[in-house]
Amino acid sequence: MKLNLTRPLVIFDLETTGLDIATARIIQISYIIARPDGTEDEQKNQFVNPECHIPQEVQQLTGINDDMVKDAPTFKQLAPELAQAFAGCDFAGFNSNAYDIPLLCEEFLRAGINFDFSQARLIDACTIFKKMERRNLAAAYKFYCGRKMEEDFQAHLADQDTAATWAVLKAQLDMYAPGRQEEPERQLTNDMDSLAEASRAGRPTVDFAGRIILDENGNEVVNFGKYKGVKVSDIFPRDSGYYSWIMQADFTRNTKQAFQRLWLKYAKR
C-alpha cells in the first residue's frame, strides 16, 4: 500500500561496531528517501570508517571487516551531506526508535552537528509489529494450538497458564519438526539441549540479570558500567575495590553470588 506522506520519509538501517549506544560506531548506513509525490530516491549504501577495530563477532555477523572500511569516509566526513539530505524528513526503521535513531543522533553530535530529531515523526516497524502481533501466552496458544485460550483455559491462573504453556511447547515441536520445515533455522530438534539453545536470547549469561556474560571463547565478561566488555579475570587481580563495591551495591543476590565465585577463582592470580 502506498504511504500517505506529507514530507519525505527516510527508511534506513545501520550496521555498527556494537550495541552500546554510547560507544558503538556506524560501519554502514543504507537509506531510501520516499517522497510525498510517490517517487523514491535511489537507495544509498555507504560504508563508514569507524576509526576503531570492528569486533570479530560483528565481522562474523555482518560480513564487514576492517579492510572493507579502512578507505571509507568517517561519519564526521559524511555528516554534513547526511544532515542536508535528512533535513525536514521523517524516519522509519526496524527497532530504530530503540537503537538506530539514538545512535545516529550520537554520531551527529560527535561530528559537531546538532541534528534536530524532535520535529521528525519516528516510525518503527518493529514496535508496530509487536503491538499488532501480540507475543503473550494467549497469542501463542491461538497461533500454535489453533484455538482461543479462553475457550480452553481461564487466563492468569497459574495452573491454567501452566497447562496452556505445556500445550504450546508440544505444538511448537510439531510445527517446527525437521520433516515439516525445510529451512534449518526454522527447525526444532526434540531434545532438551536444542530447546535450551533455541530459548537463549543473546550471549550466554553467568547470572540471571545478565551482568556477566560469556564471550565467544567462554570468558566471563562484565556487561555493564565502566568495565563493560572487560574480562573479569583481568579486573579482579588489579582492582579489589570493584569486588567490594559489587558486594555493597544494589545488585541481586544471584549476581553477587556469581561475582563471589569469580572472585574466588581469579582474585589471587
Query: Whats the size of the chain, residue-wise?
Result: 269
Q: Which residues of the chain are in CATH 3.30.420.10 domains?
A: 9-129
Average pLDDT score, the chain = 91
Rounded distance between C-alpha atoms, residue 38 and residue 46, angstroms: 24
pLDDT in tens, 207-252: 988 999 999 899 999 999 999 999 999 999 889 899 999 999 999 9
- pLDDT score, position 200: 79
Give the per-residue pLDDT at 83.
Answer: 97
Residue 268: pLDDT band with limits 50, 70, 90: low
pLDDT at 269 over 80: no
What per-residue confidence (pLDDT) applies to 246?
94
Q: Which of 63-72, 120-129, 159-168, 173-182 has the highest mean pLDDT?
A: 63-72
Tens of pLDDT, residue by residue over 22-62, are 889 999 999 999 999 999 999 999 999 999 999 999 999 99
- The amino acid occupying position 14 is L
Does residue 101 carry a pLDDT above 80?
yes
**In this predicted structure, what is the pLDDT of residue 57?**
92
What is the reported pTM? 0.68
Q: How confident is the model over 124-130, as a mean pLDDT?
A: 89
CA atoms within 13 A on the CB side of 191: 3
CATH number of 9-129: 3.30.420.10
